[in-house]
Amino acid sequence: MTVPSPPWRREPPRRAAKPVLSQDLIVKTALEIVIAEGVDAVSMRRVAQALDTGPASLYAHVANKDELQELMVDRALNLGELPEPDPARWLEQVKQLLRQQVQALMTYPGIAKIAWNVVVPVGENALHQGEAMLKLLRAGGLDLRQAAFAGDALWLYTKAYAYEASGWASGEFDEAEVAERGRQMTEYMRSLPPTVFPNMLQIGELFNAETARERFEFALDMFLGGLKTLADS
């Protein structure tokens, strides 16, 4: 039924020329798009286009977009070496691990947003980091239950912080628009009796990209302060 291709038109050996599709390649390509165009630009079609194929081809290697996102998050979470617990400075080690996680998430702007879709972190990197965190907390003297709850809360906050911070940093939140909103809000609050929003009126300038790191460290210090008194009791 099929006509052989005419001899004057050289059939390009397409299949061998381009790198063969694989899950790893797909995830890697998707993360490159995140860096180049932001996380919202990552659609199945866009990834397929970057690999010079159609969207349906991806589904042979990835169940659906959710799975692709999980794989992306876990790959992005690849840190270097994880700390070996030292009971003498476990608190500092916990902070250091969390800082590394934030940095990893912020390498790919907006990736923290899709980290929220990952219900149970099953990726290899996530598992290892979870175990490392539990080891640190237990080295500090917490029992398993306390360590588990503390690790959970810290990871939730870290994700939340990374989401806001990377949204800010990557221009995903239109900075001008946000500023305009803040201005309108301030104006509104000023139009009311000064007894209604005495505090809120003053704190607007405390929230910007410069204070982000400070807020993160503050939150960590508060939470770990509570953990320390728990461990010492």
Partner DNA sequence: TCGTTCGACGAACACTGTTCTACAGGCGAA
Partner DNA sequence: TTCGCCTGTAGAACAGTGTTCGTCGAACGA
Q: Which of 7, 8, 10, 20 binds DNA (CB under 7 A)?
A: 20
Q: Which of 178, 190, 193, 213 binds a second copy (CB under 8 A)?
A: 178
Q: Is 80 exposed, middle or buried (0-12, 13-18, 19+ CB in 10 A)?
A: exposed
Q: Report the alpha-carbon angle 156-102-165, nearest 5.
A: 85
Q: Could you give the CA distance from residue 27 to residue 63 in angstroms, rounded to a whole number?
A: 13
Number of residues forming the site for a second copy (CB under 8 A):
57
**Does residue number 28 form part of the binding site for DNA (CB under 7 A)?**
no
56, amino acid identity: A
**φ, ψ of residue 69 in degrees (nearest 5):** -65, -40
Minimum CB separation of residue 20 from DNA in Å reads 5
Minimum CB separation of residue 6 from a second copy in Å reads 48
**Does residue number 208 form part of the binding site for a second copy (CB under 8 A)?**
no
Residue entry with tokens 């979870």: 130
Binding partner at 198 among a second copy, DNA, none, C-beta below 5 to 8 Å by kind: a second copy
Minimum CB separation of residue 44 from DNA in Å reads 4
Considering only residues 36-75, where is the footprint of DNA by CB under 7 A?
42-46, 52-57, 59-61, 64-66
**Does residue number 181 form part of the binding site for DNA (CB under 7 A)?**
no
In this structure, what token pair is assigned to residue 12? 């390009």
Instruction: Compute how many other C-beta atoms are within 10 angstroms of the C-beta atom of residue 186.
Output: 15
Question: How many CA within 13 A on the CB side of residue 202?
Answer: 5
Sole window of 9-17, 98-106, 158-166, 207-215 interacting with DNA (rule: CB under 7 A)? 9-17
Enumerate binding residues for DNA (CB under 7 A).
1-2, 14-16, 18, 20-21, 42-46, 52-57, 59-61, 64-66
